[in-house]
Structure 1
Amino acid sequence: MNRNFTNDVIARLAELGLELPQNPPSPAGDYAPFRLHAGIGFLSAQTSGYDGKFSGQVGSVLTLTQGQEAAQKAALNALSRIHQALDGFDRLIGLLHVAGHVCSAPDFFDQPEVLDGASRVFNHVLGDRGLHSRTAYAQTHLPKHITIELEITFAYREILHI
């Protein structure tokens, strides 16, 4: 594994004009932002934030492009959480699965295209480690009026203590 993968990820983000958020949104309840167990990591729901910039249904309040931007921001927040969980990206083996919930108007059916905003970030900045399976869900409402909620499972290399 590349021991400088963290630097590679930061550089790839910069190529896109993006950076790792320093303070991703805190959990909106009494739960942990992530859990690590036996080489598998689980992120609690990652959103684009609670600032109201991306709020409401895609297809009525927000356009497809705005939905993709919200998904991109949620992906950046997810990367920040993985960075926090693993103290960098060097131990990241790869993303396994992304479940994406899109707050959608009743007549909006392009949830996979919305979530491509997140997948493109993961695939570009993580390379092969960003390749993941994915499920797209349409929701009429999401907590706190958010537009995107990502649930992410990833594999990581454990630290051996001798």
Structure 2
Amino acid sequence: MKIEQRLEQLGIVLPEVKPPMFSFVPWVKSGQLVFISGQVSSLKGKLGREVSTEQGYHAAREVAIRLIAVLKDAVGDLDRVSRVVKLLGMVNSMPDFEEQPRVINGASDLLLEVFGERGRHARSAVGMAQLPFSSSVEIEGIFEVV
């Protein structure tokens, strides 16, 4: 099944990719790799205080949709994606919060739903004292394309 059809089947509408507000670009292509700059969730707040693990999971899923939108901007046709290589998931966390991997599973699970086996990836999930605009989740990604 084509990736665009899979997105439609899942009820996912990709958001518009807006130019960055700062001195960087949303993506860089080098050889067969596409590096996607960190995308943030619209959900604000700290995990372990005002944001639950379940809410964080859904925020990470939202961020994965943003990653896919930027990826499409970079490569045009999402069927060119041969592999999700790596994600770095950053979670705006209280010092005692330990469920960052469960939060970032929201992104990992969505990428598997969309890309199938091509969506299996290496990953880091880390806690941060703060993220831009008080976002609860930020994720950057590396993708291989043909």
Runs of 4 or more off by more than 4 Å in structure 1?
Answer: none
Unaligned runs of 5+ in 2: none
Matched, 1:45 2:38: yes
Give, in angstroms, the shift of residue 9 of structure 1: 1.9
Letter in 1 for 2:41: S
Q: CA RMSD in A?
A: 1.4
Give aligned-pair identity as a percent.
32
Q: What is the distance in 2 between the residues matched to 1:73 and 1:85?
A: 19
Paired residues for 1:122-161 under 5 Å: 122-157=111-146
Q: Secondary structure at the match of 1:20?
A: coil
Comparing 12-21 and 79-88, the one that deviates more? 12-21
Letter in 2 for 1:125: V
Give, in angstroms, the shift of residue 48 of structure 1: 1.9
TM-score by length of 1: 0.84
Q: What is the distance in 2 between the residues matched to 1:68 and 1:16?
A: 17
Letter in 2 for 1:132: H
Unaligned runs of 5+ in 1: 158-162
Instruction: Report the equivalent of 1:105.
Output: 94
Question: How many corresponding residue pairs?
Answer: 146
Q: Contact 1:10–1:20 (CA<8 Å) still a contact in 2?
A: no
Bigger Rg, structure 1 or 2: 1
Give, in angstroms, the shift of residue 45 of structure 1: 0.5
Letter in 1 for 2:8: A
Letter in 2 for 1:119: S
TM-score by length of 2: 0.93
